[in-house]
Chains A and B, each alone.
Chain A
Amino acid sequence: MAKITFIQHNGTEIETKGITGMTVMETAVKNQVQGIDADCGGACACATCHVYVEPEWTDKLGARNPMEEDMLDFAFDVRPESRLSCQIKVSDALDGLRVRVPEKQF
């Protein structure tokens, strides 16, 4: 179990309990976080679960995988801290993770 906070575009923070082994995207959908569309249901095929990871967490999450890097081409306003939340697996090490949801997923 890890506490994961989603910061919505309007600044609202949503605290969720992430279950180990699930993805950050699934955690968002389960908690009805707006702005995580996840059209493809987690297949890394749509880039509609794009999030910005808060700077202190980027290193802890490691690098994007190549498929995710390709898929980020379909996202808008990609920044160094951009990730696809379907590619981040929840673990105890991520307790306290904070991610920002972009204004639009397209």
Chain B
Amino acid sequence: MSDHFETDAVIIGGGPCGLFTIFELGLLDIRCHVLDILDRPGGQCAELYPEKPIYDIPALPIVTGAELTTRLMQQAKPFQPQFHFNQMVTELSKQEDGRFLLKTDGELSFLAKIVVVAAGGGSFMPKKPPIPGIDAYENKSVFYSVKKMETFRGKDILIVGGGDSALDWTLNLHPIARSMTLLHRRDDFRAAPDSVKKMRELVEAGKMALQIGQVTGLKGEAGVLSAATVKGSDGAVIDVATNTMLPFFGLTMKLGPVADWGLNLHENLIRVDTEKFETSTPGIFAVGDINWYPGKLKLILSGFHEAALMAQQAFRIINPGERLMFQYTTSSTNLQKKLGVV
């Protein structure tokens, strides 16, 4: 299924800076669609440290990543942003009419007058275990996510990991697999206790196998896996027969397709000016951790400032010739109407 949207602005990245950009653009009547590779808003605040306190947000002496996200969502809400999660932007190109065309790996496309890259440390992508030769098996016998369960019917599946993804997919795929083995480095699991209990029941009933150890090598031919070499905690090395391996080692940040969009980069960061936070392509902006300029500090509060200034130039592009009057939310009835408070 593919869907097409036409909008004022597309924000790439729904972390704190992307969320605050909705607010700043919204005050200037610029409507946004927000795309993120994760399944929820918050970016690193949601994925890396939802429960860890942040101490340097102005006026919030202590706030967790999750709470900061909730508050930013609340602040952005009056502007009715449209979110599209689990989407990685794969293409960004300028059209003849001056607008930008964006395409995602989830087959969505957008035409936008301006684009704001608020992609933080890049895209969160599954960690690939550095097992020698693993590349040759990827997408044939080794998968880092489950897109369609049917792909795995009748397979001899080896799932590696001890978190929720590993346990959830063990339980979900076990009924359609020919055989199921879960491999983890220790006999303790981070995953939800209920899932662990269900898994252990299946093991006891002889319906699946649990191995303790780590994968050290792969065996197979032409991308088709036949076995994984596993080193046990006791040092013993065995081969586990499998034709389908699913490693779940969490996510890591990679710059990803951002590097292919023709923007001037500085050591994998997008170079911007410090007046408009515009990239080398007019109409494409970058705010937050993904950008670079002399003196740049990777702080959430810096990203907030960048969003406010960027929005001014975005207004000029979207409303050519129109005068932009600077207003305060404390005193402007106009802004307060937009915020829905009067």
Interface residues of A (CB under 8 A from B): 39-40, 43, 45-48, 69-70, 72-74, 76-78, 103-104, 106
List the B residue with the shortest CB-CB distance to A75: B249
With A48-B252, A73-B163 given, name 14 new contacts (CB 8 A): A39-B48, A39-B253, A40-B44, A45-B49, A47-B250, A73-B162, A73-B186, A74-B127, A74-B163, A76-B130, A76-B214, A78-B185, A78-B214, A106-B249
Q: Is B78 an interface residue (CB 8 A)?
A: no
List B contacts of A73 (CB < 8 A).
161-163, 184-186, 190, 249
Q: Decide if B256 is an interface residue (CB 8 Å cutoff).
A: no
Report the minimal beta-carbon distance from B317 to chain A, rounded to whole angstroms: 34
Q: Which of A47, A69, A77 contacts B214 (CB 8 A)?
A: A77
Give every chain B residue within 8 A of A70 (Cβ-Cβ).
190
Q: What are 28 of the A-B contact pairs (CB < 8 Å)?
A: A39-B48, A39-B121, A39-B252, A39-B253, A40-B44, A40-B49, A43-B52, A45-B48, A45-B52, A46-B250, A48-B252, A69-B188, A72-B185, A73-B184, A73-B185, A73-B249, A74-B127, A74-B163, A74-B249, A74-B250, A76-B130, A76-B214, A76-B249, A78-B185, A104-B130, A106-B127, A106-B130, A106-B249
How far, in angstroms, from A63 to B250 measured CA to CA in the complex?
A: 24
- Residues of A with C-beta under 8 A to B249: 73-74, 76, 106
Interface string of B163-192 (1 = CB under 8 A from A): 100000000000000000000111010100
B24-44 to A contact mask, C-beta < 8 Å, 1/0: 000000000000000000001
Chain A nearest CB, measured from B228 CB (Å)? 14
**In contact, B129 and A106 (Cβ under 8 angstroms):** yes
Chain A residue nearest to B250 (CB atoms) is: A74
Kindly list chain B residues whose C-beta atoms are within 8 Å of the C-beta of A40.
44, 48-49
List chain A residues, Cβ under 8 A from B338. Answer: none
B128: CB under 8 A from chain A?
yes
Task: Report the minimal beta-carbon distance from B330 to chain A, rounded to whole angstroms.
Answer: 34
**A43 pairs with B49, CB closer than 8 A:** yes
Q: How far is the CB of B303 from chain A (nearest CB, A)?
A: 15
Inter-subunit contact B48/A106 (CB<8 Å): no
The 7 closest A-B pairs by CB, nearest first: A74-B250, A106-B127, A45-B48, A43-B49, A40-B48, A104-B130, A70-B190
